[in-house]
């Protein structure tokens, strides 16, 4: 008898490229065997998981989540590493990539140390970090970034908007050059900040302060122009970029055009651009604030465009951009007395737990994408691009046994009461889904099964990464 720790029997295994009926043998937290019938006559394991009727996919990887990131004074993100990663495993994820935000005047290394301190011992899934560069000093770009990339922090995010975070074109060029030299992959938040500030001033002068004006003051041309410019800046340096949280067709066309010129441009979209619209910000009271994120959700035509981007390959990545706030904080704590304006609503919505079920249901169950594309968009491509592959992102001998069992027939209604994040609402309240993650296995250990937590915090580990273009070929 070959001793194994766990055998997953009878499931349909789906990777980004293949679908097969096979059993999986796990030992020491890794997949050691994939075979047609790892039956009890030949193989022995203390744990046998029956996956009959279920789909077995590589654990989901969400490469865009915000956890414990400080925002405006007095406003805190609703998830720390404990609640954020707990929500993640209930949503079919086994790895998340939050950000280490560099405060102005802070070194990149100090930022990394601070986030590690928060994450250490508190995670339910594996975690790896991107760096947000807000202060591209010669020290940060010349010394800290190359050293950090070598240490496993293989990606950075740059902002073209948000006071205190945005970089000038000149600083973006300097930072992209340093990214190229050090091998970091740069993610870019592309919105034209001057257009937004100009439109906001006009809206407020007209008394247009309701949450719905968040959308009208961050229009598609602001995203299109900045996307064009980000790609042009990357073209000058000759380094790849990821355009994150793309909301509309014009920005998609910029990605297509950049690729047609020979630039390496990756695209990411998120659930909010598939199932929400700007109308959601036009709810009674100040409830529209629950849908405020940037770029804003657009309309049904742009939803269709984003689906097309997922189907045709404009988008390589599907991420949640989980950035949760409590409703009380959504109302804008730092606003001047008596003023209640969309301007003071912190940008971002919760979504780490509902992200994959929404794509599974609206994408796979409704026949827009197949299961292999689902796996590519929610796991494999994240692992490849950000340097975790093939340890993560696939089902293969030698890979971590990060596996999620989905019941394709299970129908649910999304309810805040059933979720595990730290926010006090979900923008998807009442949304019906077909297909649900019923078991999450992290490095061979079941951490969630049938809606119950099966692990203690601390089971999740930090994972360093190899810069994507240096990652070993599979
Ligand atoms: O509104 C958003 N997306 N908030 C999160 C921060 C970001 O820009 O990704
Ligand atoms: Zn962003
Ligand atoms: Zn253009
Ligand atoms: Zn984000």
Quick one: tokens of 73?
């004074």
CA of 218 to the centre of ligand 2 (A): 13
CA distances from 429 to 54, 299, 359, 417 (A): 26, 19, 16, 9
Averaged pLDDT of the chain: 95
Helix axes 193-205, 220-237, angle to 10 degrees: 160
**The ligand 1 atom nearest the CA atom of 189:** 8
Give the pLDDT of residue 69. Answer: 93
pLDDT digits (tens, 9 = 90+) for 264-290: 999 999 999 999 999 999 998 889 999
24 in Cβ contact with 402 (< 8 Å): no
Taking the centre of ligand 2 as the mean of its atom positions, its distance from the CA of residue 312, in whole angstroms, is 23
Q: What is the pLDDT of residue 339?
A: 73
Of 377, 381, 379, 383, the closest CA to residue 362 belongs to 377
Q: Are 315 and 246 in contact (CB under 8 A)?
A: yes
Query: Looking at residues 172-194, what average pLDDT do you find?
Result: 98
Res 474: pLDDT: 35
270 lines ligand 1 (CB under 6 A): no
Distance 474 CA to ligand 4 centre (A): 29
Ligand (nearest to CA of 225): 3
Residues 6 or more apart whose Cβ sits within 8 Å of residue 259 = 265
CATH superfamily placement of domain 2-58+398-456: Urease, subunit C, domain 1 (2.30.40.10)
Q: For 234-263, write each residue's pLDDT tens digit.
A: 999 999 999 999 999 999 999 999 999 999
Distance, CA 333 to ligand 3 centroid (Å)? 38
Query: Using a 6 Å cutoff on CB, does residue 189 contact ligand 1?
Result: yes
Distance of CA 51 from the midpoint of ligand 1 (Å)? 37
What is the per-residue DSSP string for 400-461? Answer: B--EEEEEEEEEEE--GGG--SSSS--TTTT-EEEEEEEEEEETTEEEEETTEE-S-TT---
- Report residue 304: phi and psi, to 5°: -60, -40
ipTM of model = 0.93
- CA nearest 100: which of 462, 390, 352, 467? 462
Q: How many Å lie between the centroid of ligand 3 and the Cα of residue 278?
A: 24
Stretch 317-325: mean pLDDT: 98
Q: Which ligand is nearest to the CA of 230?
A: 3
Supply the residue whose CA is at minimum distance from atom 2 of ligand 1: 348
Number of H helices, E strands in the chain: 15, 23
195 in contact with ligand 1, CB cutoff 6 A: no
| Domain ranges in the chain with CATH number 2.30.40.10 | 2-58+398-456
Say which residue the tokens 């796996």 belong to.
375
Q: Which atom of ligand 1 is nearest to the CA of 294?
A: 1
Q: Which residue blocks in 217-326 are alpha helix, DSSP H?
A: 220-237, 249-260, 272-275, 300-312
Q: For residue 323, give the ligand 1 atom closest to its CA.
A: 5
Please give the class, per CATH, of domain 66-373.
alpha beta
pLDDT tens, 196-214? 999 999 999 999 999 999 9
Q: What is the mean pLDDT of residues 358-386?
A: 98
Nearest CA to ligand 1 atom 9: 321
Ligand 1: atom nearest CA of 292 is 1
pLDDT of residue 328: 84
The bound ligand whose nearest atom lies closest to the alpha carbon of 255 is 3
Residue 176 and residue 231 in contact, taking contact as beta carbons nearer than 8 Å: no
Q: 273 C-alpha vs ligand 2 centroid, how far in Å?
A: 14
316 within ligand 1 shell (Cβ under 6 A)? no
Segment 173-197 shows an average pLDDT of 98
Q: With bands split at pLDDT 50, 70 and 90, how would you rate the model's confidence at 1?
A: low
Instruction: Mention every residue, 6+ apart, whose C-beta is less than 8 A from residue 194.
Output: none
Q: What percent of the chain clears pLDDT 70, i.e. is strictly above it?
A: 97
The pLDDT confidence band at residue 333, using thresholds 50, 70 and 90, is low
Share of the chain above pLDDT 90, in %: 91
CA 154 to chain centre: 16
Angle at CA of residue 263, ends 260 and 267, nearest 5°? 90
Query: Which atom in ligand 1 lies closest to the alpha carbon of residue 157?
Result: 9
Average pLDDT over residues 357-369: 98
Contact assessment for residue 210 and residue 342, using Cβ atoms and an 8 Å cutoff: yes
41 vs 296, which has greater pLDDT? 296
Query: Which regions of the chain carry the CATH code 3.20.20.140?
Result: 66-373
- What's the 323 CA to ligand 4 centre distance in angstroms? 7
Is residue 310 lining ligand 1, measured as CB closer than 6 Å?
no
Name residue, tokens 């086994």: 94
**Minimal CA–CA distance to 457: which of 86, 113, 80?**
86
Q: What gap in Å lies between CA 125 and CA 442, rounded to an integer?
A: 7
Which two tokens mark 416? 């805040």
pLDDT at site 400: 98
463 token code pair? 């994972």
What residues are paired with 322 via a beta bridge? 65, 349
pLDDT at residue 329, rounded to an integer: 85
Give the pLDDT confidence score for residue 471 in this predicted structure: 44
Closest ligand to the CA of 189: 2
Q: What letter would DSSP give residue 103?
A: P
Q: Which of 132, 189, 291, 294 to mutate to test the pocket of ligand 1 (most atoms within 8 A of CB)?
A: 294
H or E segment and range at residue 359: helix 355-359
| 3-state SS assignment for residue 131 | strand
Task: Give the per-residue pLDDT at 340.
Answer: 82
Q: Probe ligand 1: pick from 62, 64, 65, 66, max atoms within 8 Å of CB?
A: 66
Q: Is 323 close to ligand 1, i.e. is its CB under 6 Å away?
A: yes
Distance 227 CA to ligand 2 centre (A): 12
Give, as one character, the DSSP assignment of residue 29.
T
pLDDT tens digits along 98-144 = 999 999 999 999 999 999 999 999 999 999 999 999 999 999 999 99
């Amino acid at each position: 008898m070959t001793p194994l720790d766990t055998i997953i029997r009878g499931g349909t295994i789906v990777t980004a490229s293949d679908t097969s009926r096979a059993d999986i043998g796990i030992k020491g937290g890794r997949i050691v065997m994939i075979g047609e019938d790892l039956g009890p006559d030949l193989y022995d394991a203390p744990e046998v998981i029956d996956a009959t009727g279920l789909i077995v996919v590589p654990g989901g990887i969400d490469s865009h989540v915000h956890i414990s990131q400080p925002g405006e004074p007095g406003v805190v993100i609703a998830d720390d590493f404990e609640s954020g990663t707990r929500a993640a495993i209930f949503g079919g994820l086994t790895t998340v990539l939050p950000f280490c935000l560099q405060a102005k005047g802070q070194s990149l290394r100090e930022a990394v140390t601070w986030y590690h301190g928060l994450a250490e011992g508190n995670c339910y899934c594996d975690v790896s970090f991107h760096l947000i560069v807000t202060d591209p000093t010669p020290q940060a770009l010349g010394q800290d970034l190359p050293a950090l990339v070598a240490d496993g922090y293989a990606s950075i995010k740059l902002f073209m908007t948000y006071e205190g975070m945005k970089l000038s074109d000149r600083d973006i060029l300097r930072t992209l050059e340093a990214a190229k030299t050090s091998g970091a992959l740069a993610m870019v938040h592309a919105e034209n900040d001057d257009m937004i500030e100009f439109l906001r001033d006009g809206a407020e002068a007209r008394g247009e302060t309701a949450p719905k004006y968040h959308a009208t003051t961050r229009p598609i041309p602001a995203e299109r122009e900045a996307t064009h410019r980000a790609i042009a800046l990357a073209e000058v340096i000759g380094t790849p970029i990821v355009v994150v949280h793309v909301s509309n067709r014009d920005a998609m066309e910029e990605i297509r055009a950049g690729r047609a010129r020979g630039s390496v441009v990756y695209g990411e979209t998120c659930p909010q651009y598939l199932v929400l619209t700007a109308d959601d910000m036009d709810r009674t009271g100040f409830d529209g604030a629950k849908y405020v994120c940037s770029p804003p959700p657009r309309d049904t035509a742009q939803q269709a465009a984003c689906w097309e981007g997922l189907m045709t390959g404009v988008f390589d990545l599907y991420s949640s951009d989980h950035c949760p706030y409590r409703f009380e904080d959504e109302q804008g704590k730092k606003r001047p007395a008596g003023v209640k304006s969309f301007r003071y609503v912190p940008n971002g919505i919760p979504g780490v737990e509902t992200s994959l079920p929404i794509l599974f249901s609206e994408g796979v169950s409704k026949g827009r994408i197949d299961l292999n594309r689902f796996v590519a968009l929610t796991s494999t491509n994240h692992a490849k691009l950000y340097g975790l592959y093939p340890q993560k992102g696939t089902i293969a001998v030698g890979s971590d046994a990060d596996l999620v069992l989905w019941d394709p027939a299970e129908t649910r209604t999304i309810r805040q009461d059933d979720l595990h994040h730290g926010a006090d609402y979900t923008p998807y309240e009442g949304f019906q889904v077909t297909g649900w993650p019923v078991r999450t296995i992290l490095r061979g250990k079941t951490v969630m099964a049938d809606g119950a937590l099966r692990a203690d915090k601390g089971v999740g580990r930090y994972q360093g990464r190899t810069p994507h273009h240096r990652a070993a070929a599979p």
